[in-house]
Amino acid sequence: MRVLVTGGAGFIGSATCRRLVAHGSVVVNVDKLTYAANSRSLAALAGNSRYTFERADICDAAAMQRIFSDHEPDAVLHLAAESHVDRSITDAAAFIHSNFVGTYQLLEAARHYWAALPAERRNRFRFIHASTDEVFGSISEGRFREDTAYRPSSPYSASKAGSDHLAGAWHATYGLPVIVCNCSNNYGPYQFPEKFIPLAILNAFDGRPVPVYGDGSNVRDWLYVEDFVDGLVALLERGRPGEKYNFGSGRECTNLEVAECICAILDRTAPIGRPHQALISFVPDRPGHDLRYATNPSKAHTELGWRARTDFEGGLALTVQWYLENRAWWEPLRRDIYRGERLGLIEAQR
């Protein structure tokens, strides 16, 4: 299978590229290489004949048409997105452009390419659009289902909600074999250090304050990245066009519990002479911060045979250990791109 992966130099994208190539697929990675992309996350694929990199912007219609024509993929895994909520608060335009306009241009390029395929290849073609559970907004009880109404609260989640609707419309109107999936918060190795878990790990490791928004009571469903990649592969193999699938672990934790768990792991693996928990610092909350996300993945269980295999504590321990052992990956990022400063406060614009 020839798979076109957008955003393949990002956190989830690089894990997906590594997995697909290891399992024998031919991968074309299309990435603009923005601040959160990192080609070093794909060092293991250097020189591999089954891997090709195309530096291109998904908003560039001509580039997308050329890439489809040159590489003739059997499937698309659309993972490219601006994804950090805090950045969307102070620069919403970049999110609308990349997540909404970029998805439109990619869908159009895919549609014209797919329509010209021979019947057998056209029937096999799949377009997997990856999204987030944040499009559903906050939920007080129960869990998000595939038919839960959208109530996005941030510019980021609104831009992803819009892209989800585009993907569904291109299936309904043009017949493009689109599958949409919404996943809960991913974590694991190679995640850019502005996100909560790697930021907490690296700040605690450096003896710096570990910022927790508000009172730390916001709840998230945490999914280990390799488990989500399992879900993407299952969608390529068994997903039904026109359907939506939720992916979540069912393991809910407050942000404070996550920070405390990270500190406990570091107490065992990188002691500093006092509990790391003393570094936890409560900071002003994010504007419009959703209180709770919880995802119901039963459809993926039933139809795809997919389940999250990694328990949260075990996955978090693996993640902490990876960051401790891979300073060469994250130190340049902390030095040159993101130094741990607070993002996303509206007051910062004034």
Residues with catalytic annotation?
133-134, 156
Q: Residue 19: which region, alpha, beta or left (left: phi > 0; alpha: psi -120 to 50)?
A: alpha
Quote the CA–CA distance of 82 and 76 in Å, as a whole number.
18
59 and 7 Cβ atoms separated by less than 8 Å:
no
10 Å CB burial of residue 277 (0-12, 13-18, 19+) is middle
Q: Find how far residue 140's CA is from the centre of its chain.
A: 24
Query: Taking the CA atoms of the chain, what radius of gyration do you get in angstroms?
Result: 20
Quote the CA–CA distance of 344 and 285 in Å, as a whole number.
10
Side-chain-side CA neighbours of 72 within 13 Å: the count stands at 5
H helices of 6-116, in order, are 11-22, 61-71, 85-90, 92-95, 102-115
Residue with tokens 């021979």: 118
Measured between its terminal Cα atoms, the distance across the chain in Å is 51
Q: Residue 295: which region, alpha, beta or left (left: phi > 0; alpha: psi -120 to 50)?
A: beta
242 and 314 Cβ atoms separated by less than 8 Å:
no
Q: E strands along the chain, which residues?
A: 2-6, 26-31, 51-55, 75-78, 126-132, 178-183, 185-187, 210-213, 219-224, 244-247, 252-254, 280-283
